[in-house]
Amino acid sequence: MFAHKDSSQDELEIIPTAVPRQGDGYHVADTNGDGMAAGLIGEAGKALTEDDLRRINTPRGLIQLIKSKNVDLEEVRKTLLYEQELRQLQVELVRLQRWVQSDGQRIAILVEGRDAAGKGGTIRRFTEHLNPRAMRVVALPKPTDDERGQWYFQRYIRQLPNKGEIVFFDRSWYNRAVVEPVMGFCSKKEHQRFLQQVTEFEHMLYEDGVTIIKFWFSISKEEQAKRFDARRQNPLKQWKLSPVDEKAQEMWDSYTRFKEEMFSKTHTTFSPWIIVKA
């Protein structure tokens, strides 16, 4: 846990994930390029085919398939439990969205984390079964020349949820807390001004009825390196690599320093951070 001296702030909530991990024998196949489930893969990297999946309609077929594929039963159990829990949670999300619509709520979900932490893939899982008419995903490009001359938060204000809407931010105004100072995209003065203003900005939104949910997806340096390597080797994932990604390993300690400062200054009772071990 991350301790805070400010009595107005709670401890950060850290949530472990139960998603089967790559490299642990049989796991969830990443056919979408997002680290999410699509099928079972064996230790030799052989995916179960559509015919294989049809065979498991009967207990006997399942037993024979497991024997023929040398499947790790424990990994199969983990995968099935994960898929079952995922479905239950997605049903709850649909119910939540209905309440948001009927009650006129405004929900802003900020998804932050290091490069290759699984932010985009997680948002796709979140939104998979939601009504697109009452939900948006915002992933802003780098600011234009006009936007650079505006108040930093201005372009994000235009993206805030309307009544009855959930908006997912795939990175958000917190770019200025970590990525921008690490990569030299903002000055020290701009960074410090952001830290002074962001809690006031979020408190204004809170008082106006906007619910802000802030997730930080946490991965280890070793796991990030593995995911970068997987992207380099997979033509379907190479688009995910950017010059910023290429420097992430080299700048790891700097990222950590700015991340910890962000938590210490922006984790509040009205807008807390939730850390997910991704």
Residue 150 lies in a domain: yes
Q: How many CB atoms lie within 10 A of CB 26?
A: 22
Q: How many C-alpha atoms does 153 have within 13 Å on its Cβ side? A: 15
Residue 7 lies in a domain: no
In angstroms, the CA 273 to CA 212 distance is: 10
What are the residue ranges in the chain where pLDDT is below 70? 1-48, 52-57, 65-66, 69
In angstroms, the CA 30 to CA 182 distance is: 30
The CATH number of whichever domain residue 27 belongs to comes to 3.40.50.300
pTM: 0.76
In angstroms, the CA 139 to CA 120 distance is: 9
Tokens of 50: 């559509």
Residue 272 lies in a domain: yes
| Domain of residue 119, residue span | 13-277
Q: How many C-alpha atoms does 208 have within 13 Å on its Cβ side? A: 16
Query: pLDDT by residue (tens digit) across 180-232?
Result: 999 999 999 999 999 999 999 999 999 999 999 999 999 999 999 999 999 98
Residue 247 lies in a domain: yes
Number of domains composing the chain: 1
Residue 129 lies in a domain: yes
Mind spelling out the 3-state secondary structure of 79-106? HHHHHHHHHHHHHHHHHHHHHHHHHCCE
